[in-house]
Amino acid sequence: MAILDCGVSEESRRGVRRVLSDLRSVLGVSTDIKVERCSPASAKSFLLSLNDLKFCVLLVDAIRVKDVYERWPQGKVEYEDLLRTATYKVGKRAYTF
C-alpha cells in the first residue's frame, strides 16, 4: 500500500494512516505502508516505479486543487495525469482523499 501525500496537513496524514492501519486486515494488505510526500508529478513517477502495488491512497488538499484548477492549467493536467496513472497501476483500488 502506498500513501502519496500531495500537500496535506500532518493531522490529516496521521488520521488517514490511522484509519488505513485499522482497516489493513479487512483490505488484505501488508503492514508495510509506504508514505511519500510529493508533488503530483513525482507521485506519478513513484507509482510507475512500483510493480506490486495493491492499493494506493492519494492525499490532496481540496483548496490547493481548486486553486490549481482555476489558476494553473499545467497543474490541472498534472493532477489529472496522476489520477489516470493511479487508476492504471492499481485499478479500482486507488482512493483519493
Structure confidence by residue, pLDDT tens digits, 16-63:
888 888 887 887 776 667 778 898 889 999 888 887 777 788 888 888
Region 73-87: mean pLDDT is 88
Confidence of residue 93 (pLDDT cuts 50, 70, 90): low
pTM (2 decimals)?
0.75
For the chain, what is the largest distance between any 2 Cα atoms, rounded to a whole number of angstroms? 41
- Identify which of 6-15, 20-29, 51-60, 85-94 has the greatest average pLDDT: 6-15
Cα-based distances in Å from 95 to 31, 71, 73 = 18, 25, 23
1 in Cβ contact with 32 (< 8 Å): yes
pLDDT at 95: 61
